[in-house]
Amino acid sequence: MKKSILIIFALALFFGCTDDNEKKPFSGEGYKPIYISKDKAFIIKAEQPTILLNPGKLFLYNNYIYITDKGSGVHILDNTNPASPTKLKFISIPGVKDVVVKNGVLFADNITDLIALDISDLSNITVKKRIKDVYPLEDQYYPDGVSGYFECVDPDKGYVLRWEKAILENAKCYK
pTM for this model (two decimals): 0.82
> What CATH topology corresponds to 21-174?
Thrombin, subunit H (2.40.10)
Reported as a single tens digit per residue, the pLDDT across 60-113 is 999 999 999 999 999 999 999 999 999 999 999 999 999 999 999 999 999 999
Measured CA to CA, the distance from residue 16 to residue 156 in angstroms comes to 37
Measured CA to CA, the distance from residue 22 to residue 38 in angstroms comes to 33
Supply angle C-alpha 21, 27, 29, rounded to 5.
Answer: 110
Whether 58 contacts 66, CB under 8 Å: yes
Parse the chain into domains and list their residue ranges.
21-174
Closest by alpha carbon to 24, among 147, 143, 142, 149?
149
